[in-house]
């Protein structure tokens, strides 16, 4: 009981979540190269979380007897200028994902698709948290600036995620 339009939009979102996972995996690799082990761990957790988001949508489509289509995943960058650059992009990206989730909500409302609206409520709340977390890290890294000692300390604390 889910429209073709809604199925296509959710399939596109599965791709967006997997692209996010791929982006954070690349950041994890780059943080490792920069010897920021805590951040490498943090981004790896973020990668795992994005895959969970993708599979939440996969499971939902399957429960609705709808077809899951895995589209190609576009290339992601490999290197960033700094830790701050990585988290600034994370913040921008999470704001973009929030807009995608909200667009899905609008579609589900227009389609009078109550089950999808219910599923999406979880994602709406999740995005508030994602944007807030990224925002806090960006602000902290801006305050740290070029202070290598505090960057080292903060990297260590992010590794505890
Ligand atoms: Mg996500």
CA distances from 95 to 3, 17, 56, 101, 108 (A): 27, 13, 20, 10, 20
What pLDDT was estimated at residue 1?
Answer: 82
* Tokens matching residue 48: 């795992």
Expressed in angstroms and rounded, the spacing between residue 104 Cα and the centre of ligand 1 is: 13
Expressed in angstroms and rounded, the spacing between residue 97 Cα and the centre of ligand 1 is: 7
DSSP codes, 97-111: HHHHHHHHHHHHHHT
Expressed in angstroms and rounded, the spacing between residue 50 Cα and the centre of ligand 1 is: 5
Expressed in angstroms and rounded, the spacing between residue 143 Cα and the centre of ligand 1 is: 27
> Dihedral angle at the C-alpha atoms of 142, 148, 150, 156, nearest 10 degrees?
110
* Tokens matching residue 41: 């761990």
* Tokens matching residue 59: 């499971």
Q: Report how far residue 101's alpha carbon sits from residue 117's, in angstroms, rounded to the nearest whole number.
A: 11
* Tokens matching residue 18: 């997997």
Expressed in angstroms and rounded, the spacing between residue 25 Cα and the centre of ligand 1 is: 13
What pLDDT was estimated at residue 137?
Answer: 98
Expressed in angstroms and rounded, the spacing between residue 157 Cα and the centre of ligand 1 is: 23
Neighbours of ion ligand 1 (CB under 5 A): 17, 50, 53
What pLDDT was estimated at residue 161?
Answer: 87
pTM for the model:
0.95
Expressed in angstroms and rounded, the spacing between residue 56 Cα and the centre of ligand 1 is: 10
Expressed in angstroms and rounded, the spacing between residue 149 Cα and the centre of ligand 1 is: 32
Per-residue tens of pLDDT for the chain, all 161 residues: 899 999 999 999 999 999 999 999 999 999 999 999 999 999 999 999 999 999 999 999 999 999 999 999 999 999 999 999 999 999 999 999 999 999 999 999 999 999 999 999 999 999 999 999 999 999 999 999 999 999 999 999 999 98
What pLDDT was estimated at residue 119?
Answer: 98
Expressed in angstroms and rounded, the spacing between residue 146 Cα and the centre of ligand 1 is: 30
Half-sphere exposure of 59 (CA within 13 A, CB side): 7
């Amino acid at each position: 009981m889910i429209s073709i339009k809604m199925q296509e939009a959710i399939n596109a979102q599965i791709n967006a979540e997997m692209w996010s996972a791929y982006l954070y995996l690349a950041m994890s690799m780059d943080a490792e190269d920069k010897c920021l082990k805590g951040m490498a761990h943090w981004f790896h957790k973020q990668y795992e979380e994005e895959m969970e988001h993708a599979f939440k949508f996969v499971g939902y489509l399957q429960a609705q007897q709808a077809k899951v289509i895995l589209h190609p995943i576009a290339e992601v960058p490999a290197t960033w200028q700094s830790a701050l650059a990585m988290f600034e992009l994370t913040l921008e990206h999470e704001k973009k994902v929030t807009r995608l989730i909200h667009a899905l909500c609008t579609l589900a409302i227009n389609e009078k698709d109550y089950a999808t609206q219910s599923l999406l409520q979880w994602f709406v709340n999740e995005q508030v948290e994602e944007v807030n977390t990224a925002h806090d890290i960006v602000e902290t890294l801006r305050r740290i600036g070029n202070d290598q000692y505090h960057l080292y300390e903060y990297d260590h604390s992010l590794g505890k995620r």
